Amino acid sequence: MDSIGSYKKRITQELSEKINLTLREAELEAQFIMQHVLKESSSNLIIKKNEIVLKKDIANIENIIRQRLDDLPLPYILKEWDFYGHTFRISKDTLIPRQDSELLIDIILQKYDLNSPLEILDLGTGSGIIGITLAKNFKKSNVLLADISIKAIKVAKKNIEANYLQNIHYVHSNWFENVDNTMFDIIVSNPPYISKEDPHLKQPELIKQPQVALVSDDEGLQDIKVIVGNASGYLRKMGILLIEHGYNQANKVKQIFTDNKFNQIEQHKDINNKIRVTVGVKI
Ligand SMILES: C[S@@+](CC[C@H](N)C(=O)[O-])C[C@H]1O[C@@H](n2cnc3c(N)ncnc32)[C@H](O)[C@@H]1O
């Protein structure tokens, strides 16, 4: 019979040996798995490290490990993942929340007072992480989530309900098509921006994620062009548009903003010092 501490070490070793994970990645995954199954915080796992793991929990953990060794990304097995300090429900029909996208939230939090009564649109919302995080922070604002995937919208709806939010709505829409005539202060989007030819798409983590969430024509820029090209018609004066994009698309995305008469264009770097978000103001 294993203690929590030694069992965690054992599954870390198994994950690092059998799938292509660094020891650090395997440690983190083992930590998430233990927290998820034992329903304990990371600090409690340390406090309880000498307690024995129950048989029923071992069965659940082994089941997760089996799926993980089959190359299914851990967030899809656990059906939840963290974004901006909160846990969100996800499914195979939604993108796995990425830490990179937290930059969008940081920028908006720097620009606006939390009491601002804003109209916010999250285009390509997926599981709803961006719009819901904004709705939780800007309590006097209204947030609209839009996505072309009905299955993603259903996941976003569950996340809205789990957070008891009243200031948020959703719409099934091909970009702006079904967005009514509200004028927004903020339009934010993490659209698909990977080129069809990008070899990264063959990586096991990406291959299992919905292609509609990842891939865009025209070297990955087609959806960005549609969004930037139409956003002005839905923005109030001084309203802002924020787009997350690939690290190698900064110049082209800036040009798209300029071509569409956006002003005060800013570009923001992620923790790896790569430009990943472009922001423009409608004057
Ligand atoms: C990169 S994912 C981002 C998901 C989520 N916002 C996040 O950051 O995790 C892009 C999202 O755009 C949606 N999408 C793709 N094409 C779309 C379109 N034409 N209209 C609306 N949404 C679209 C996908 O279904 C997917 O949920």
Condensed to tens digits (0 to 9), the pLDDT of residues 66-93 reads 999 998 999 999 999 999 999 999 999 9
Q: What is the pLDDT of residue 181?
A: 87
Instruction: Report the mean per-residue pLDDT for the chain.
Output: 96
3-state SS class at 85: coil
pLDDT at 20: 80
Per-residue pLDDT at 205: 81
Tokens 């203690």 -> residue: 3
Tell whether ligand 1 has an atom less than 6 A from the beta carbon of residue 34.
no
Helix (H, G, I), strand (E, B) or coil at 66: helix
Residue bearing the CA closest to ligand 1, atom 26:
213
Q: Is 213 in the pocket of ligand 1 (CB under 6 A)?
A: yes
Using one digit for the tens of pLDDT, what is the confidence trace for 36-70?
999 999 899 999 999 999 999 999 999 999 999 99
In whole angstroms, how far apart are CA 252 and each of 7, 93, 213, 215? 49, 29, 20, 17
Distance, CA of 250 to CA of 179 (rounded, Å) = 27
Residue 137 has pLDDT above 90, yes or no: yes
CA distance 141 to 98: 24
pTM here is 0.94
* C-beta 175 within 6 A of ligand 1: yes
**Cβ of residue 11 lying under 6 Å from some atom of ligand 1:** no
Q: Using a 6 Å cutoff on CB, does residue 209 contact ligand 1?
A: no
Instruction: Enter the DSSP assignment of 183.
Output: P
Structure tokens given for 213: 């969430």
Question: Mean pLDDT throughout 259-263?
Answer: 98
User: pLDDT tens digit string along 7-40?
Assistant: 999 999 999 999 988 999 999 999 999 999 999 9
Query: pLDDT-based confidence at 229, cuts 50/70/90?
Result: very high
Q: Residue 128 pLDDT more than 90?
A: yes
Site to probe by mutation for ligand 1, drawn from 148, 154, 194 as the one with most ligand atoms within 8 Å of Cβ, is 148
